Structure 1
Amino acid sequence: MSSTEIKPSAPPRFTFPLYKHYSLKNQEVAYADGAPSLSSPIKTRFPPNVFPILPSPTSPGSPATPTTSFGLSRQLPDPHAKIYKVVNCRLLQDHKIVENSYLWFQNGRIIKPEDLFFTSYREPDEIIDAKGLLIAPGFIDLQINGAFGVDFTTDAESGKSDEELVKDIEKVSRGLLKYGCTSYLPTVVSSKTGVYHKALPLLRPRPGSVLAGAEILGAHIEGPFIAEGKKGAHNPNVLSAAPRGITDLDARYGPELAFKKPDARGDIERAVRLITIAPELEGLLEAVPELVSRGITVSIGHSEARIADAEAAVAKGTTFITHLFNAMQAFHHRDPGIIGVLGSTHLPIPISHKHHPSPSITSPSPTKPDPRPFYGLICDGVHCHPNSVKIAYYSHPRGAILVTDALSSMGLPPGTYSLAGRTIIVDDKLGAYIEGTTTLAGSTITIDACVRNFVRFTGCSLVEAIDAATIHPAKLLGIEKRKGALRIGADADLVFLDDSQGPENIVVSRVFVRGEEVDLKAC
């Protein structure tokens, strides 16, 4: 042996007791914890050669992203950011409730405590006691026309400045948090070209925060390429077909419909995320593949489509049905129309699970993605009879998505309101109708109430109801890696639910958006 060689020493033998410090997933991990207290920094509690010290990603000569022994890239957490650990909680994970669990998050994202231990040797900086509450992912609402006196379409038509419109959007975004809604699609209904060019640039995706409110995932544009016979509360004077196909859509919506390359997180710096069309109208069916290629989710709605039209649209790439049962042909045993797609068994099987429902007992294949589209349900007891909701759910359980279709009157008392320039009357039962008619214009329900009603209407479990407001809409939009589930790397959008009075009576107790706790009294 040369004089420069150093003989490695044997690992030390521990003669002091082992104490349990915290548990990793489904197993207790014992830490050597002799004289130092549990409040001591972790690195002081280990002999220096028990675990290898990985190089800091910011130290000179170190790789930006360290790799594991298998050569796999591992993204280390920021060693300086505050770490939170939620204890004494029940977690909704992987379609089940995990009792007596915990959750760690840092920098607004859910993290894996093992990574902290083996890389940064960090303990949590703050412990949050959930007091036995159920923690679910933040709710996602794909259809909100407005709320708290704000209407996204009417306000854009009113001549308000961009600054005023942004304040209105933030008012809605902040107010939604108290209902557990941490992400949503502001919805603009059928309008003239100028309204889209005014409103859409202000509805581009932006992160959620305590100050800004719920995250905007992009815009849902509902119309004007819809059927006049199923227009609902939409202005008939602006409705249109698309004889030139995608060219007509580009002309109407402007640059916010154009293709843009997603960033590293999968976000697209473009407003339009979802579009509702009537596929039976001239030029619309042909436009579907181009819209899908741009990363836009296409939905069938406000349509007189027959079953053949609806199935053709799904085969072309539509993956959603806007507010099932409403503004579409009623179910008929000889031609079930759009509703009949829930029973389709011969649609092309998708090659990828992305944007498609997971298989269920009613799916054509038990292992492959379900080719049937997701579908929205307004569970306010006004738009759909509870039995209708139950029939849809039992036909296609993994396709159900809860939406509010909320109007400017959401969160406000009965009275007179506006939707795209039309007068809306909200009655004592909180049904919203076009003035002087029995035509429903939208709802005033909140997303947490939709979850409660879904349990009541269908008899499903609370887990299944929450899935319909979280992971299902996330999968539809293709953002399930960061939204809709309590998984490692996902945004720390958390809803603490009190279900002590039963699943049909859940109460939103605490809300976190990207790891920040919301003052619900201030919303």
Structure 2
Amino acid sequence: MAERTLRVRRLVAGAEVIEHAELVLDGEWIVEIRPDRRGPGQHDGWLVPGFVDTHCHGAAGADFSDADGVATILEHHRDHGTTAMIGSLVSAPVADLATRLRSLPRDVPGLIGWHLEGPFLSVARCGAHDPEVLTDPDPASVRTLIEAGGGALRMITLAPELSGAMGAIDAFTAAGVQVAFGHSDADATTTREAVRRGAVVATHLFNAMRPIHHRDPGPVPVLLTESDVTAELIADGHHLDDDVIKLAVDAAGPERIALITDAMAATGLADGAYPLGSMTAEVAGGLARIRNADGSLGSIAGSTLTMDAAFERLVGLGYPIPDVAVMAATTPARTHRIDNAGVLAPGQPADAVLVDDEGRRQGVLWRGRWRESPAA
């Protein structure tokens, strides 16, 4: 296939920002990145790596628990800049999760694998997970999930204070499954031990975990200061106040922050009622909450966020576009050992997002082709 070039005003290539850059493509692949000696580029904006969302449950009316909805979800989020994704499943009985892991597709372009958010979670911090299906991680259950997931199971969120949890962290880590701390009422000591054993992702930091107190710090200070931990943040304006986002980013640095969506089936749709596992979420003004049996609204239930909106929000908080690109792409790809994602470099797929100076999405490049035609 003949080589072709894209010319942009600025391109984020790892730690380097190239002014007036030329991206040389051969089909789906980047062949070369070089300065464009011709001056102003064809596209007036920043080309950043395609976003990597490592915690997402659904979109456009579809949920990852149903294999028939996988393509719909990926297409929706790809339109919003996500070019690599780990699909997340909410808590369910272990046997049900094992069945789903065996039946869900693998080797889908852009789908890196699967994340189990439960069922080894704290009832006290269950959030939008059905407390009736939560359980302690016994060795047989752990083995069942590892075998069912095979190489496709990339991450599991668990609460380390549960009986058997430390042994489960050891077993999942030994099997190559990334362990995430989350939905937990653990104290600082237990959190530190979990990190030492290999729980090196913080599932949606601050949300569904014990809050900070000056005499009982809980997990958050540990997760923000341990150098091995990557902290997920949901920057949708509902889960976290902007000052809390700034606190986390400034404490951990972009190299340890991963922007995620935690998006659910209602993403991209109108307000209303939507299924979330065995429960129902009510969405109003973009905010999803669990509808309790008595009709009242309970915990926040995932989000209706897309990665381009999270990117724009962080730029709006004053963070430079190269730093936000690290949080939206490079850090999650590195943390989850995702090859062919998270950076723009020769030999990598031509997956990128064009944004303006305010971080607003202008176009999405997927495998070397624009999904829409950005303005020149």
Q: TM-score, normalised by structure 1?
A: 0.66
Could you say what the CA RMSD is over the residues aligned between the two structures, in angstroms? 2.0
**AA aligned opposite 2:119:** P
Q: CA 1:104–1:189 in structure 2 vs 1: closer, same or farther (change >3 Å)?
A: same
Q: CA 1:520–1:249 in structure 2 vs 1: closer, same or farther (change >3 Å)?
A: farther
8 A Cα contact 2:232 2:258, kept in partner: yes
1:94-116 per-residue CA deviation (whole Å, 9 max, x = no partner) reads 234211111112242211389xx
SS in 1 for 2:196: helix
1:250-293 per-residue CA deviation (whole Å, 9 max, x = no partner) reads 22x263334xxxxxxxxxxx321111011111111122233222
**In 2, distance between residues paired with 1:277 and 1:509?**
37
8 A Cα contact 2:61 2:269, kept in partner: yes
Structure 2 counterpart of 1:468: 327
Q: Comparing 459-468 with 387-396, which one deviates more in the overlay?
A: 459-468
1:331 is aligned, of 205, 212, 234, to: 212
Q: CA 1:138–1:88 in structure 2 vs 1: closer, same or farther (change >3 Å)?
A: closer
**In 2, distance between residues paired with 1:328 and 1:254?**
25
SS in 2 for 1:143: strand
Structure 2 counterpart of 1:255: 147
Structure 2 counterpart of 1:388: 244
2:310 is aligned, of 437, 442, 450, to: 450
In the alignment, structure 1 residue 422 sits paired with structure 2 residue 279: yes
Structure 2 counterpart of 1:508: 361
Q: How does 1:295-374 map to 2 (within 5 A)?
A: 295-342=176-223, 344=225, 370-371=227-228, 373-374=229-230
**AA aligned opposite 1:192:** P
**In 2, distance between residues paired with 1:467 and 1:113?**
18
Structure 2 counterpart of 1:193: 94
SS in 1 for 2:309: helix
2:117 is aligned, of 204, 216, 222, to: 222
Q: Comparing 318-327 with 90-99, which one deviates more in the overlay?
A: 90-99
- Structure scoring higher RCO (CA < 8 A, sep ≥ 6) equals 2
Q: TM-score, normalised by structure 2?
A: 0.91
SS in 1 for 2:219: helix
**In 1, distance between residues paired with 2:336 and 2:146?**
21
Q: CA 1:228–1:220 in structure 2 vs 1: closer, same or farther (change >3 Å)?
A: same
**AA aligned opposite 1:178:** D
8 A Cα contact 2:158 2:180, kept in partner: yes
8 A Cα contact 1:203 1:271, kept in partner: no
Structure 1 counterpart of 2:232: 376
In the alignment, structure 1 residue 495 sits paired with structure 2 residue 353: yes
8 A Cα contact 1:203 1:216, kept in partner: no
| Identity within the alignment, % | 31
1:409 is aligned, of 262, 266, 269, to: 266
Larger radius of gyration: 1
Q: CA 1:451–1:202 in structure 2 vs 1: closer, same or farther (change >3 Å)?
A: farther
8 A Cα contact 1:152 1:199, kept in partner: no
Cα offset for 1:339?
0.4
**In 2, distance between residues paired with 1:497 and 1:130?**
14
8 A Cα contact 2:102 2:149, kept in partner: no
8 A Cα contact 2:85 2:111, kept in partner: yes
1:206 is aligned, of 90, 104, 107, to: 107
Cα offset for 1:194?
4.1
8 A Cα contact 1:86 1:104, kept in partner: yes
In the alignment, structure 1 residue 149 sits paired with structure 2 residue 61: yes
SS in 1 for 2:43: coil
Q: CA 1:113–1:144 in structure 2 vs 1: closer, same or farther (change >3 Å)?
A: closer
1:153-195 per-residue CA deviation (whole Å, 9 max, x = no partner) reads 3x4xxxxxxxxx33x1101111111111111111101012343
Structure 1 counterpart of 2:38: none
Q: How does 1:218-297 map to 2 (within 5 A)?
A: 218-244=113-139, 247-251=140-144, 253=145, 255-258=147-150, 270-297=151-178
Aligned residues: 363
**In 2, distance between residues paired with 1:517 and 1:188?**
30
**What 5-or-longer segments of structure 1 have no aligned partner?**
1-80, 115-128, 156-164, 209-214, 259-269, 348-369
Cα offset for 1:413?
1.2
8 A Cα contact 2:123 2:131, kept in partner: yes
Cα offset for 1:400?
0.9
Q: How does 1:103-118 map to 2 (within 5 A)?
A: 103-112=23-32
Q: CA 1:511–1:242 in structure 2 vs 1: closer, same or farther (change >3 Å)?
A: same
